[in-house]
Structure 1
């Protein structure tokens, strides 16, 4: 609805933050001449808002926050050397989450992990899904940038805290809000990068359809010291340079 309203007002450009907003903006502008620049969309090809990362086509481009899944799994192993099963909540209709889950499942066995996933269709199902994961005996829960899960992080944390298992986030803010740790992408840098792309389009220097989607792949570990102490864990030696954050 908001995207259609923007189209009716003939804005010069529409920015979409995260997959749902980007998909909405793309659908509302498809076939028109208003460019869309998205950010924080992990897999724009799966979301079907670009034809390819190199040549987006149509009138849509932006930046992708490619989650460092292998680094995340390696970090989880460092914190939990005896863990066997990682639990994951995801929205079944969110392309990014489905794509992340598939890749996560491919990598996890290399580090001795099984993956137990529970899907939700809307935010109201997150609390029950978290309880289901806990009942399946997972040793921890790992979050992606799934909008329904992140928006209801407190309910996931409650279920995990009651079971005395950690929750690993996908970015720094989740760690500040109670997750144990994350391999985090710099979203401030991602935003600046997106703004620069939008400026070039508005100045007529480039067309969205010809601008390759730009990716941020570098990450750095962050952890919540209070959560670490509450869980009775210690900071692994290989993560000694990780940044401690708190709310």
Structure 2
């Protein structure tokens, strides 16, 4: 487990007494500096979630810097690696350390934090929870109703399916690949099944809870002759993507999935939210709660435009598609079409690039 501490470089010369009086009572005040302890827990080591955590940390650093020494965040970042026992211990440690706020990245972490904080006043901010209402994290997207709120990477399943059939109008057998234990996949899979039922297209469900099981599922998909594969923003399949993409591509089967990180790791097309911006806005929400005193129960869950299609250019070539042509096919159905090459992790952006990204991206509050 690693710890990252974000600190201010300088102190402000003065702060009004009214400002001090309005500071949240759970922050420590030393020499007019509001210091907040934040515990972040990531669910698993994958490109999407790692990108979110990285951008939460970067944005908190930026908020510190912009405060001219008025605010200091002490951030501890952990990763439970999808182990429930480790997750419970991490949360227990956060509580013992008297953190002012917990951040749960992905649905299982958010749910565990929610359960652990029912009897205390520690607010929870979640990130990348696809369906916070159905999972019981919040009462509604507009008013969460408890000491928890956050950012959602809700997937527009219909849009992904529209891309799939725009690329192959003759597709008549679709594989649905996911982990039944991932709450983030439940709604999207049901939506996909309804879409395919309405269209009269056959589908088969393939599931796995480990990398080995997902690899076996991929073997079955190939043996069954599926025309394409659909996966939601499923963290289990995401961790296995680098292990299955080559055989799917060699079999001529395009994999469509609910995040650009899938395309980074070898899927043909990833469609979903900009996780850089999701991380930034999660940090901004943390700041609003801790520094500005906003109530999580009344802070709407933030959702985002998820109309970006990311195509793996190497897999695109291997499948026999021309990138320029498939981009033209997808463009009417997306807000943007990007190309990417296979890699394990996203490249780190420079500070100037991150600022440009922040200025150009809009988030919708619901």
TM-score, scaled to structure 1: 0.91
> What corresponds to 1:190 in structure 2?
278
Q: Which of 177, 180, 184 is the matching residue for 1:92?
A: 180
Which 5+ residue runs of structure 1 have no aligned equivalent? none
| Mapping of residues 9-20 of structure 1, within 5 Å | 9-20=97-108
1:177 is matched with which residue? 265
Task: Report which stretch shifted further, 107-116 or 86-95.
Answer: 107-116
C-alpha contact (below 8 Å) 2:273/2:305 kept by paired residues? yes
5 Å matches for 1:226-245? 226-234=314-322, 235-236=325-326, 237-239=328-330, 242-245=337-340
After TM superposition, give the deviation of residue 204 of structure 1 in Å: 4.6
Number of paired residues? Answer: 247
Q: CA RMSD in A?
A: 1.9
Structure 1 segments of 4 or more deviating over 6 A?
none
TM-score w.r.t. the length of structure 2 is 0.63
1:108 match: secondary structure: helix
What 5-or-longer segments of structure 2 have no aligned partner?
A: 1-88, 343-366
CA contact (8 A) 1:164 1:231 kept: yes
Decide whether aligned partners of structure 1 residues 156 and 47 sit closer, same or farther in structure 2, where only a CA change above 3 A counts.
farther
Structure 2 match to 1:47: 135
Cα distance, 1:243–1:121 mapped onto 2, change above 3 Å: closer
Name the larger-Rg structure.
2
Structure 1 match to 2:216: 128
- How far the C-alpha of 1:129 sits from its partner, in A, is 1.9
Q: CA deviation at 1:105?
A: 1.2
Instruction: Report if the CA contact (8 A) 1:66-1:217 is conserved.
Output: no
2:341 aligned partner: 246
Aligned partners of 1:68 and 1:217 also within 8 Å: no
Q: Which protein, 1 or 2, shows the higher relative CO under an 8 Å CA cutoff with sep ≥ 6?
A: 1
Alignment partner, residue 77 of structure 1: 165
Distance in structure 2 (CA, Å) of the matches to 1:68 and 1:151: 21
What is the deviation of 1:111? 4.8
Secondary structure of the residue that 2:152 maps to in structure 1?
strand
